[in-house]
Each structure stands twice: as structure tokens, then as C-alpha cells.
Amino acid sequence: GRGLLSPIGGVNALAENILKIIRNPELAIEMRRKSLEFVKKFYSLERLQNDMKNIYKEL
């Protein structure tokens, strides 16, 4: 996955997730890679421009 989830107010779960990343640098690298891929795919300048063009066409 691209990240780790902790429940609201779940300080122990958050601490465990932080420790998991600290203890497993390979996991951190993989999460970073997947996150960058996601951002490039869904938030690229080209995609945002196309989305804006489509919004204006619908007006």
C-alpha cells in the first residue's frame, strides 16, 4: 500500500505504525514509490488541465 492507517485517537496504533516504518526501511521505500506513482497518475499537470477543460466545456 501507499501508507498505514491508524484509527482516530489510536495513539498506540499510530506509534506502532511509526515503529513499523522505522524498523523496516524497505517498507518506507516501497510506500514512497507507490505514493509517487499514484500522484503522477492522478494529479499530473496534464490530467488537471484536461479536467479543467472538461469543466469549462460543461458550462
CB 34 within 8 A of CB 1: yes
What pLDDT is stored for residue 50 in this prediction?
A: 94
What pLDDT is stored for residue 10 in this prediction?
A: 98
Residues 6+ apart with CB under 8 A from 13: 6, 7
- How do the domains of the chain map onto residue ranges? 11-58
Q: What is the 3-state secondary structure (H, E, C) of 1-59?
A: CCCCCCCCCCHHHHHHHHHHHHHCHHHHHHHHHHHHHHHHHHCCHHHHHHHHHHHHHHC
Instruction: Give pTM, 2 decimals.
Output: 0.69
pLDDT band at 57 (very low <50, low <70, confident <90, very high): very high
CB 6 within 8 A of CB 13: yes
pLDDT digits (tens, 9 = 90+) for 6-52: 999 999 999 999 999 999 999 999 999 999 999 998 999 999 999 99
